[in-house]
C-alpha cells in the first residue's frame, strides 16, 4: 500500500467543467455506474473513511469532485451513470458534464472504470471504454465487490473480461474489494505509473 495516496484531501466540487480547478498538473478520474462502489473504492485506496461521500442511495455523486494529492496531482470522482432514480433531464446534465470532462480536460492521464464484478461490461461500461479509447485514454478496470463471489467465480469473471478486451492493450483489469481491502496495491501500481511516481 502506497502511503502517498493517504494524503488525499478534498479540493472542490464543480457542477460543470468551467468551475473546475485550473487545467494543469495531472489528474486520474474514477468513473462507473452509480452502484459500482466508486466512493468506497476511493476511500479504501486513500485509506480514509469519508474522503468521498458514500451513500446507500446510488447516484449521489452528481458533481465533479476533485481531491488533491500534492500541488500537481489530483484524483477526480466523476458523476455516476446509468442507475440513479432521478429525472431524465438531470441524468442528461450528468452525462454532459462527464462528456465535457473526458473530451476537454487536458491534464487527464487515465481513467479508472469501476464495474460490479457480478455485472461487468454493461452497455454503459462499453460506451465509456469506447469513449476513452477514442480519446486516447488508458483505462484500468476495477471489478469491485469481489468479496460477493467465491474466489473461483471471481477469477473466472476476471478472465472473461480480460479475454473480451484482449485486443485493446490500453485497457487493464483487476479484481477489487473495498470491504476486504483486496487489490489496493495493484491499483496503486497503475496510479503510480500514470502519475510517474518513482518506485
Beta bridge mates, 177: 182
Do the beta carbons of residue 133 and residue 170 sit within 8 Å?
Answer: yes
Q: What confidence tens digit (pLDDT) does each residue in 69-115 have?
A: 999 999 999 987 765 566 677 667 767 888 889 999 999 999 999 99
CA distances 141 to 94, 129, 144, Å, are 21, 10, 9
Q: What confidence tens digit (pLDDT) does each residue in 174-188 have?
A: 999 999 999 999 999
Residues in contact with 44: Cβ distance below 8 Å, sequence separation at least 6, in sequence order:
178, 181, 184
Hunting for cell 469519508 — which residue is that? 50
Beta bridge mates, 30: 77, 112
- Domains present along the chain, CATH in parentheses: 3-195 (3.40.50.300)
Do the beta carbons of residue 15 and residue 97 sit within 8 Å?
Answer: yes
Selection from 152, 164, 49, 73 nearest residue 115 by Cα: 164
Work out the average pLDDT over 191-197. 95
pTM of the model: 0.92
pLDDT over 70 at 59, yes or no: no
Amino acid at each position: 500500500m502506497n502511503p502517498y495516496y493517504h494524503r488525499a484531501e478534498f479540493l472542490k466540487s464543480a457542477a460543470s467543467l468551467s468551475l473546475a480547478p485550473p487545467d494543469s498538473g495531472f489528474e486520474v478520474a474514477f468513473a462507473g455506474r452509480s452502484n459500482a462502489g466508486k466512493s468506497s473504492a476511493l476511500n479504501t485506496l486513500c485509506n480514509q473513511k469519508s474522503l468521498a461521500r458514500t451513500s446507500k442511495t446510488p447516484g449521489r455523486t452528481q458533481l465533479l469532485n476533485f481531491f488533491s494529492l500534492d500541488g500537481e496531482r489530483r484524483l477526480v470522482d466523476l458523476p455516476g451513470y446509468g442507475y440513479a432514480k432521478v429525472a431524465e433531464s438531470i441524468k442528461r446534465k450528468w452525462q454532459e458534464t462527464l462528456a465535457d470532462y473526458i473530451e476537454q480536460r487536458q491534464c487527464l492521464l487515465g481513467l479508472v472504470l469501476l464495474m460490479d464484478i457480478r455485472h461487468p461490461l454493461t452497455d454503459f461500461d462499453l460506451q465509456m471504454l469506447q469513449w476513452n479509447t477514442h480519446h486516447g485514454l488508458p483505462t484500468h478496470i476495477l471489478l469491485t465487490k469481489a468479496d460477493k463471489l467465491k474466489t473461483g467465480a471471481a477469477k473466472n469473471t476476471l478472465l472473461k473480461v480480460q479475454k473480451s478486451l484482449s485486443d485493446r492493450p490500453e485497457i487493464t483489469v483487476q479484481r477489487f474489494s473495498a470491504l476486504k481491502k483486496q487489490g489496493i496495491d495493484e491499483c496503486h501500481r497503475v496510479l503510480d505509473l500514470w502519475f510517474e511516481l518513482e518506485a
